[in-house]
Chains A and B, each alone.
Chain A
C-alpha cells in the first residue's frame, strides 16, 4: 500500500482567477445531438450513463440535432424568446435603478434565462415551481404583471408582499410560483412534500424545484432527495450549475469530483445533465421528466450547465474573484442568442423582428418602472405601518395587537 509520509489537505481552486485565462475544459462538452434519449418510462437503472453525458440540441449553427430535439410550435418558441428578452431587459433596468439608490438590492439572472423560461412553458397552470431568487424568467413566461415585480422591488405602498421581503424574493401562488426565501435549499423539501401531497390526493399536479450547484452541499438537499426517492414523489429537482456561488466555484460543492447530475445515481433516480443555455434542450429535458412524474414514475434530477454572467447580486464585484473574460469565454454561449439564431435559421424570425422585440421589451420595462416610481421607490411610500403586524398568525395574538397599538399611537 502506498503511504505518504504526511497527509495534505486538498483545498480546491477554480480553473482561473483574475488575470488567468478562462478555462472550461472541465465541462467535457460533446457535440449537440450525441446523447441518447431513453423513453421516459424506462427504468432509472437503465440510464445510469446519462448524468455523465450532456443533453444538447442546438448546434453552433442553431440547428436542432439528435433524439432530444423537441417538436415545439413556433409560437411557443416566440413566447420563450420574448420572455427571455424581457427578463434581461428587466434585470438590466432594475440593476441600474439599484445603482441609482432607488432600491436596496437586486439579483440578475443574466445568462440563465432559458432554464427558467422553458420549464415555465412546459409546466401546467396547476403545477408548482419552487424557485430560487434567480428564476424570475418563470414569471415572465407566464405574463405575471411587471408592475407587481417593480412594486415588490421598491417595497412600496402597492408591494404585493406588503414590504416584508428583500427585492426579488417574490411569491405568486396564482402563477404557480412558491414563496422565495434567502435561505438556501430550505424549500426543496417543500417541493417534494407538495408533490407527495398531489400523489396522495390522486391529483395530476407536479412540482419543480430549483437550487444552485452551491446549495447541493446543504443537508436539506440530501433529505429532499431521500424523500423524493422513497415516496416516488412527482417532482423535478433542477440544479442550476452556473459555476459560481458568490465567489465559491462549483468545486467547493464537489463539482470537481463528479457531475451534479450524478448525485441522482446514489438515490436510484434518473439524472440528466443538460445544456442549460440551450432552450430546446431545457424544454425537452423538463418535458421528459414531467412525463415521468405524471406517469407516477417519480422524481428526476436535472443539472443545467450554465453560467452566471453577472455578479451574484448588486453586493459583489465578480472581478475580485474570477477573470473578467470568463463570461464571454463560456463555451455554451448565450441562451437568447442561441434561440434567436435557431429561429432565424428555421425561418420563424428575423433580425428585424428581434430588434423590434428588444425595443418593445425595453419600452415596456421603462414604462412599468415609471409607473412603479410613481407609486414610490424604496422608502418613499410604504404599505400601511400597521400591516407589519398582520400575517404573523392567521389571527394576531395579544402581542401583535398591543404592539400595533403602540406603533400606531
Chain B
C-alpha cells in the first residue's frame, strides 16, 4: 500500500472524487495552476483541466457565496480557504446561508459544499496563520465540522465530507501535513512514513462522519482530542506512563457522543485537550456533555488543557501551544485526584 503524508492523502481524496463525480469541482485562492500554497491541489488542474480546479479571486466571502450558489444548482463544490485565519469574511455566508438554507427553505434548496482550510499553530505563523476556529463553526447549527489527525483519516474523512449533502467545514491541522508532530519542536521532524496511518489506499474509501477513533486504549483516564493534539496526547501518555485512553474525535459535529461517554464511564476521569483558546472553546461543550452524561461515574474534576486566552503570539508560540508537558501535568492531576 502506498505511503502518503497528509497533503498527499488530501490530494488523493480530491483526485478520487474528481474522477468519480463529474459534478465535483475545486476552486480557491492559488489552487489551480499553482496547486495551492500547501500543495493540496498539486497536479489536479493539469490532470482534470482548469474547469475542474481553478483559481478564485482573493475574496473568501465570494468564494463561499458562489460555492453555495453552485451547490444549489446541483454541483458539488470543494473550496479552499488558504488559512482558517482568513475564513472570517466568509463567516456570514457559512452561518446565515450555508448552514440554514435547507432549514429555512424546508428542503427546497441546500448547499452540499466542502470548505477545506488549514488551521492551527506550530509553524511560526503568529496570530494571522495559527488560529483554531473550530468552536465558532461547531456552535453553528447546520454545519458539520471535521478535523483529521492522520493521512489515512484525512483521505477517508474528506471523501465522506465531499459526499455529504450538508455543508462541511474540513479543518486541516497544518502542523501535521508533513509528519505526526507530537509537540516537541526541539526534536527533528518525524516523517509520516514511519507511522502506520500513512498507509493510504489509492482508491475510494470513506470514514463516516460522527465516528470517533480510540487511538490508545487505557483504563486510568480518558483523553478527548482532535487534530494535532491527538499526537500530543499520545506523547503525554507515553511520557508519564499513565494508562490513558486517547480518543480522536475526528468529527466535532456530529460528535460521537456514545464513544465518549462509554470511555469516561469506564475510566471515571476525563482530560480534554485542544489548541484553541480555552474560554468558550469546544472543550467547554465536551466538558459540559461529560458532566451531564457521566457525572455519577466521575472520580475527578474534568481537566482542560488548551491554548491560553490570548491571540497566538509569534515569539511565544511554544509557550502558547499546549504541549506534552502541560498535558502530562493535567493527566497526573486527574489520575491522582481523590473524590
Chain A interface residues (CB < 8 Å from chain B): 160-162, 164-165, 169, 171-173, 178-179, 181, 183, 186-198, 200-201, 207, 219-220, 223-224, 226-227, 230, 391-394, 397-399
Residue pair A179, B105 in contact (C-beta under 8 Å): yes
Residue B103 CB within 8 A of the other chain: yes
Stretch at the interface among B28-36, B91-99, B126-134, B187-195: B91-99
Q: For A388, give the chain B residue with the smallest CB separation.
A: B103
A-B Cβ contacts below 8 A, count: 140
A152 to chain B, nearest CB (A): 10
Are A397 and B108 neighbours in the complex by a CB distance under 8 Å?
Answer: no
**Residues A223 and B65 in contact, CB atoms below 8 Å apart:** yes
Residues of B within 8 A of A (CB): 25, 51, 56-57, 59, 61-62, 64-75, 77, 89, 92-93, 96-97, 100-110, 141-142, 144, 164-166, 210, 253-255, 257
Are A190 and B65 in contact (CB-based, < 8 A)?
yes
A193-B65, A219-B61 known; A171+B210 contact, CB < 8 A: no
Question: Which chain B residues border A197 with CB–CB below 8 Å?
Answer: 69-70, 73-75
Question: In the complex where A171-B109, A178-B109, A196-B70 touch, is A227 in contact with B96 (Cβ < 8 A)?
Answer: no
Residue of A nearest to B89 (CB): A219
Task: Pick the contact of B72: A188, A194, A200, A391 (CB < 8 A).
Answer: A194
Give bound CA distance, A345 to B333, whole Å.
90
Asked whether A189 lies within 8 Å of B106 as measured between CB atoms, the reply is no
7 residue pairs from A and B, CB less than 8 Å apart: A179-B109, A190-B72, A200-B75, A224-B62, A226-B62, A227-B62, A397-B210
CB pair A183–B66 under 8 Å, yes or no, is no
- The CA of A323 and the CA of B257, in the complex, are separated in Å by 60
**How distant is A364 from chain B, measured CB to nearest CB, in Å?**
25
Are A200 and B25 within 8 A (Cβ)? yes
Judging by beta carbons under 8 Å apart, are A192 and B69 in contact? yes
Cβ of B108 and Cβ of A193 under 8 Å apart? Answer: no
- Given A171-B109, A178-B109, the answer on whether A394 and B254 have CB atoms closer than 8 Å is no
Q: A193 near B104 (CB under 8 angstroms)?
A: no
Partner of A226, one of B57, B75, B89, B254: B57
- CB neighbours (8 Å) of B25 from chain A are 200
- Nearest Cβ distance between residue A123 and chain B, in whole angstroms? 15
Distance of A394 Cα from B102 Cα, bound (Å): 8
User: When chains A and B are docked, how far (Å) is the Cα of A178 from the Cα of B77?
Assistant: 19
**A189 interface neighbour in B66, B254, B257, Cβ under 8 Å:** B66
Q: State the CA gap A398–B25 with chains docked (Å).
A: 31
Min C-beta distance of A247 to chain B, whole Å = 24
Contact check, B102 vs A391: say whether CB atoms are below 8 A apart. yes
With a CB–CB cut-off of 8 A, which chain A residues contact B62? 189, 220, 223-224, 226-227
B57 touches A227 (CB 8 A): yes
- The one of B59, B66, B93, B107 in contact with A391, judged by C-beta atoms closer than 8 angstroms, is B107
In the bound complex, residues from chain A placing their C-beta under 8 Å from that of B108 are 171-173, 179
User: Does the CB pair A186–B65 fall under 8 Å?
Assistant: yes
